[in-house]
Amino acid sequence: GENVEQHPSTLSVQEGDSAVIKCTYSDSASNYFPWYKQELGKGPQLIIDIRSNVGEKKDQRIAVTLNKTAKHFSLHITETQPEDSAVYFCAARDDKFYFGSGTKLNVKP
Amino acid sequence: DAMVIQNPRYQVTQFGKPVTLSCSQTLNHNVMYWYQQKSSQAPKLLFHYYDKDFNNEADTPDNFQSRRPNTSFCFLDIRSPGLGDAAMYLCATSRDLGTSTDTQYFGPGTRLTVL
């Protein structure tokens, strides 16, 4: 089955700085890569996703890049705000969804 | 406009006392999933339904069962909860399975406490 690794496990940035979270996957058959934001006590919320036929996707301050050859994808958050503080999970899908271990992002005011 | 609804949001049960968690969806999706999430960990898939077809993960304990009486509803039954079953339980849906690129939508979760 698929194996998704996510780094770093914790990330602390100053408000206004950028944050980057990276994931690698093992199964070249995976073709869909969502990113979820999970706030304390809530369910994961999809924030952005990318399909394997696309290299980059952007939505306001959030962008995701995918390198199929290297089997890695990254989440980029620019101009971070305190409300971006949460746990972020990457996932890869072939027959089902496989999650990374999560990154706790702390944005300091 | 909640799309995946879970009830209750918080559930307290006693050690060994059966408990049922509920999930409903307004998306008319074919697939419904149940995940267990412990603190600071990724969600762990317990099982999923594709329509009426049930698929259990190999490492899901027999203590966990599920029912899907119709497209909209899915239940998680924990027959004899142990202290180790205290966790957040997440329900999710997707339109399809396989190599489809459908998005998965999560409910808000039910926090289970076992006393």
Q: How far is B98 from chain A (nearest CA, A)?
A: 4
Identify which has the larger pLDDT, B97 or A104. A104
Please return the burial class of A100, using the count of CB atoms within 10 Å of its CB with bins 0-12, 13-18 and 19+: buried
**Structure letter (DSSP) for residue B71:** S
pLDDT band at residue B21, thresholds of 50, 70 and 90? very high
Residue B29 contacts A where some CB pair is shorter than 8 Å: no
Which of 14-43 (A) contact B at CB < 8 A? 29, 31-32, 34, 36, 41-43
pLDDT recorded at residue B8: 94
- Chain A contact present for B97, CB below 8 A: yes
Residues of chain A positioned with their CB less than 8 A from the CB of B109: 41-43
pLDDT tens digits for range B22-36: 999 999 999 999 999
- The predicted pLDDT at position B99 comes to 57
pLDDT of residue A96: 83
pLDDT in tens, B26-67: 999 999 999 999 988 899 999 999 999 999 999 999 999 999
The DSSP letter of residue B30 is S
Task: Please give, rounded to a whole number of angstroms, the shortest distance from the CA of A60 to a CA of chain B.
Answer: 20
The alpha carbon of residue B20 is apart from the nearest alpha carbon of chain A, in Å, by 19
Average pLDDT of chain B to the nearest whole number = 93
> Are B76 and B89 spatial neighbours (Cβ–Cβ below 8 Å)?
yes
* Inter-chain residue contact A43 with B101, CB threshold 8 Å: no
Q: Smallest CA–CA separation between B63 and chain A, in Å?
A: 23
Q: What is the pLDDT of residues A25-77, one digit of tens each?
A: 999 888 899 999 999 888 999 999 999 888 999 999 999 999 999 999 999 99
Q: Is the pLDDT of residue B103 over 90?
A: no
Say what percent of chain A tops pLDDT 90: 81
CA B30, B94, B58, B80 torsion-angle sign: negative
Nearest to A102 among B42, B97, B104 (CB): B42
pLDDT at residue B2, as a whole number: 65
| Full 3-state SS string of B76-99 | EEECCCCHHHCEEEEEEEECCCCC
Interface test with B, best of A99, A103, A104, A106 (most B CBs within 10 A): A99
DSSP 8-state symbol, B72: S
